[in-house]
């Protein structure tokens, strides 16, 4: 794994998201109340881009069908939040989590830690 600079801090104000490409990986960069997070850029539901998704209180809302993800862990909070999974087992197939990536800020540069598989193109 290596860290790649993807943005300057001032380019992503709190409450905003931005999609960045690192090699072959599409990554969603999130600034939630001054803390940066990085998740896979495609939704686990239908593999559509998460660009434009809103973040509120640590939860990312997919702009397509509103699955919701914990931005710290990538856990899919929907439909688990809405329906009891033991009552609707078919929904279990739709609860895949988003991959997360480590983030660090160095000299006002936001850097994402990506595996070698992302670096190759």
Binding residues vs ligand FES (CB under 6 A):
43, 45-46, 48, 62, 64-67
Q: Identify which of residues 9 and 19 has a Cβ nearer to ligand FES in the complex.
A: 19
Q: Identify which of residues 49 and 115 has a Cβ nearer to ligand FES in the complex.
A: 49
Two structure tokens written together for 82: 């809405």
User: C-beta of 37: minimal distance to ligand FES in Å?
Assistant: 17
Report whether 29 contacts 114 (CB < 8 A).
Answer: no
List, in order, residues 6 or more apart from 86 with CB less than 8 Å away.
Answer: none
Two structure tokens written together for 57: 């209180």
Q: Identify which of residues 7 and 55 has a Cβ nearer to ligand FES in the complex.
A: 55
User: C-beta of 91: minimal distance to ligand FES in Å?
Assistant: 13
Give the HSE-up count for residue 111: Cα atoms under 13 Å, Cβ half-sphere. Answer: 13
């Amino acid at each position: 794994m290596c860290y790649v600079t993807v943005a300057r801090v001032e380019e992503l104000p709190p409450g905003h998201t931005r999609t960045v490409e690192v090699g072959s990986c599409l990554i969603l960069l999130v600034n939630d109340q001054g803390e940066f997070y990085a998740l896979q850029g495609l939704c686990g539901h239908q593999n559509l881009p998460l660009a434009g998704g809103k973040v509120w209180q640590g939860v990312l809302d997919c702009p397509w069908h509103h699955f919701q993800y914990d931005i710290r862990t990538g856990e899919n909070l929907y439909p688990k939040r809405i329906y009891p999974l033991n009552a609707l087992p078919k929904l279990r197939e739709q609860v895949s989590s988003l991959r997360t990536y480590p983030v660090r800020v160095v000299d006002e540069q936001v850097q994402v830690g990506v595996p070698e598989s992302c670096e190759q193109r």
